[in-house]
Amino acid sequence: MQTSNNTNKEKNAQTPPSGGWGAGSLTSTCVPLPIENVDTDQIIPARFLKATDKNGFGDNLFADWRYNKDGSPKPDFVLNNPKYSGEILVAGKNFGSGSSREHAAWAIAGYGFKVIVSSFFADIFRNNALNNGILPVVVSPGFLAEILDAVVANPANTLTVNLEEQKITNNATGKSEIFEINSYKKECLLKGLDDIDYLLSKRELIEEWEKRQTPDR
Amino acid sequence: MRDLRGQTLFDKIWDAHVVSEVANGPTQLYIDRHFCHEVTSPQAFNGLRARGLKVFRPEKTTMTADHNTPTIDQDQPVKDPVSRNQLDTFARNAAEFNMPLFYPLGHEKNGVVHIIGPENGFTQPGMTIVCGDSHTSTHGAFGTIAFGIGTSEVEMVLATQCILQNRPKTMRITFNGKLGKNVLAKDLALYMISKLTTGGATGYFVEYAGEAIRNLSMEERMTVCNLSIEMGARGGLIAPDETTFNYVKGREFAPKGEEWDKKLEFWKTLKTDDDAVFDSELIFDASEIEPMVTYGTNPGMGMGISGKIPTLDEIDEAGRISYMKSLDYMGFKPGEKMLGKPVDYVFLGSCTNGRIEDFRIFANYVKGKKKAENITAWLVPGSWQVEKQIREEGLYEILTEAGFQLRQPGCSACLAMNDDKVPAGKYAVSTSNRNFEGRQGPGARTILAGPLVAAAAAVNGVITAP
């Protein structure tokens, strides 16, 4: 299970971004991971970065927390706890710190998560997530604690994330927060567009910029 | 537009590279130099192929294999078939897309990407530089905007030489005074990260300033800027000065003749205006810093080598579960001293501390002494040029006489993608940049330090003040 990136079926194997958010709203149960500073080496350890495509990383998401050395699941890790499931991961502050490996985003998307909720994200990871159709939702530390408490008290509790309205609701309490995302990225997510399409449309501007450069600058 | 106040160096370089602004969105930024390695690029080249695109400016990308390479027997075929396939894919992509600057395993210019960039003169003041690697911040030492990117962004740069980025906020960190005896740039950086924490500069681009920064050599400045990402910063830069110009001059890809003169005039203008305002300012006293070690599982968990691991009441209540998880992993207890802790492995190398000055410092300490019996030491030069210099300066003999062997260049045990893995439960004093759980091998316990503390551990077999 831990040695191959390509053999096992995934919940949601895909080459992201996939199709966009459509109506822009998602209601799901969630998986709580109340650890701070979860780094990308934990999300996908370096020894799994040898693949040359984007598939299969979901099987090794959180590999060293999730599996014993012999490949058997560690029962105390949340992804192995049958009580918790869903398309939303709720994590402690500074999620995705460390390495720039986009394999971390591919692993999260590959496993089937569409949203990650935290009180803040590392910069490079946040960009990688957005470029793979995963929505990083930043909430206040207080709201994060409330969500985590609600999930632990009742794993059937759901969150609703409305991208169009930029609103996240804890359905246990009905309480909501507005989250930020710039309107360009929001549109990319809603329509399933990516930055390369945009940049390719600006080829003339790029060549003009190049012509303006001289050795004295 | 920005207001009429003076500009920071970051603002000047950023503004000079704006191709367009997306309404209510990011900036389209032109990239002067793209560095590329075998692990984060294959999916980007696949993307170009799927869209039927060529590389837009092949001469602006420098390619080197470093992350997933062995550090012995590099003249032999790579044993692990999956690693070999990744390296072969890298070579095929370089050939198919006509990339002129390709330095595979065994090439004289091969080495760790952030070491070969500066040493060959690719890295120059005022540039924008990216690479699919978070330690791209290293190049900020030359007064550049340099930052790590993901593979989707690598594809953007290959396709258009541009990237879409949100403008970060600016922070200035000033180190007044002088560093004490046996206190190195790595100690300064680990001290700073311990004060800011691992997420403390998230959203910011940092400028380092002050007497202690000015006094650093180019290689020491690279060590400081390299570690910017470890406090979450998008990058960190230092205004170029005579130290910078002297380093760049004469290197293979540096400007020459009349072009050099014109560039130099421009480079001398690259500084923050006196009346510029940063979004955040921090000031430290360099003389308060002592040699540093880390005791936990992120680079923010650092302390002076003579100190004690923080007790639980010194830790924020919300962070206590994570803190105890971290200490449990390390096998340490709150309140313990780090001095005298046993060590099993010592790693000298990486983009943080794999340059010639690091090897000089290490060799100078171990000269006439012997490696401790209990220590396995991996000494990995950052590039073949560093390796050559180690031999030319006679450091090789000093190291060999002290019982050390020299390995071949690469990222090696910094991220342990190759066979250089620290076994589970073992302690490694490492000059690299990350002490995350499992970073140097599943279950490995990493203590980050500078090359001098690493040398002292290698000779004494325990954590020792240098």
pLDDT at B415: 96
Comparing alpha-carbon positions, the chain A residue that sits nearest to B56 is: A203
Rounded CA separation B315/B301 (Å): 11
Minimum distance, in Å, between the CA of residue A45 and any CA atom of chain B? 7
pLDDT by residue (tens digit) across B118-172?
Answer: 999 999 999 999 999 999 999 999 999 999 999 999 999 999 999 999 999 999 9
Residues of chain B with pLDDT > 90, as a percent, come to: 97
User: Where is pLDDT greater, at A105 or A23?
Assistant: A105
Radius of gyration of chain A from its Cα atoms, rounded to whole angstroms:
19
pLDDT by residue (tens digit) across A108-119?
Answer: 999 999 999 999
Tell whether the model's pLDDT for residue A13 goes beyond 50: no
pLDDT at B86: 97
Rounded CA separation B441/B416 (Å): 6
Structure tokens belonging to residue A140: 């206040």
Rounded CA separation B180/B172 (Å): 22
Q: Report the residue of B20, B46, B151 to disrupt the A interface, i.e. the one with the largest count of A CBs within 10 Å.
A: B151
- pLDDT tier, A8 (very low <50, low <70, confident <90, very high otherwise): very low
pLDDT at B380: 98
Tell whether the model's pLDDT for residue A172 goes beyond 70: yes
pLDDT at B333: 98
Q: CA distances (Å), B116 to each of A192, B88, B356, in order?
A: 38, 21, 12
- pLDDT tier, A6 (very low <50, low <70, confident <90, very high otherwise): very low
Q: Does A66 reach chain B within 8 Å, measured CB to CB?
A: no
Comparing alpha-carbon positions, the chain A residue that sits nearest to B199 is: A94
Other residues' Cβ atoms within 10 Å of the Cβ of residue A167? 15
- pLDDT tier, B4 (very low <50, low <70, confident <90, very high otherwise): low
Secondary structure string (H, E, C) spanning B187-230 = HHHHHHHHHHCCCCCCCEEEEEECHHHHCCCHHHHHHHHHHHHH
Q: Is the CA virtual torsion B235, B240, B246, B250 positive or negative?
A: positive
DSSP summary character for residue B155: H
Tell whether the model's pLDDT for residue B37 goes beyond 80: yes
Q: Does A99 reach chain B within 8 Å, measured CB to CB?
A: yes
Which residue carries 């994060």 as its tokens?
A: A144
pLDDT by residue (tens digit) across A175-205?
Answer: 999 999 999 999 999 988 889 999 999 999 9
Comparing alpha-carbon positions, the chain B residue that sits nearest to A208 is: B19
- pLDDT tier, A5 (very low <50, low <70, confident <90, very high otherwise): very low
> Which is nearest to B62 in space by CA: B108, B131, B14?
B131
Q: Does B231 reach chain A within 8 Å, measured CB to CB?
A: no
Count, residues in chain B: 466
Mean pLDDT of B235-256: 98
Tell whether the model's pLDDT for residue A14 goes beyond 50: no
Q: Tell me if A46 and B150 make a contact (CB, 8 A cut-off).
A: no
Count, residues in chain A: 217
Structure tokens belonging to residue B316: 């924020």
Q: Is the CA virtual torsion A162, A167, A170, A176 positive or negative?
A: negative
ipTM higher than 0.85?
Answer: yes
Which residue carries 């490995």 as its tokens?
A: B444
Phi/psi at A182 (5° precision): -70, 155
- pLDDT tier, A16 (very low <50, low <70, confident <90, very high otherwise): very low
Q: CA distances (Å), B244 to each of B115, B139, B214, in order?
A: 15, 11, 10
Q: Are B138 and B113 in contact (CB under 8 A)?
A: no
- pLDDT tier, B3 (very low <50, low <70, confident <90, very high otherwise): low
Q: Nearest by CB to A47, which of B232, B325, B417?
A: B417
Q: What is the pTM of this model?
A: 0.95
pLDDT by residue (tens digit) across B360-393?
Answer: 999 999 999 999 999 999 999 999 999 999 999 9
**Residue B6, burial from CB neighbour count under 10 angstroms (0-12, 13-18, 19+):** middle
pLDDT at B196: 97
Other residues' Cβ atoms within 10 Å of the Cβ of residue B299? 27
Please give the order of strands across the beta sheet that includes A115-118: A135-138, A115-118, A88-91, A25-33, A158-162, A167-170, A175-178
Q: Does A131 reach chain B within 8 Å, measured CB to CB?
A: yes
> Which is nearest to B20 in space by CA: B35, B8, B30, B6?
B30
Residues of chain A with pLDDT > 90, as a percent, come to: 84
Q: Which of B:67-96 have CB within 8 Å of A? A: 67-68, 80, 82-83, 85-86, 89
Q: CA distances (Å), A86 to each of A14, A62, A82, B58, in order?
A: 17, 16, 11, 43
DSSP string, A137-198: EE--HHHHHHHHHHHHH-TT-EEEEETTTTEEEETTTTEEEE----HHHHHHHHHT--HHHH
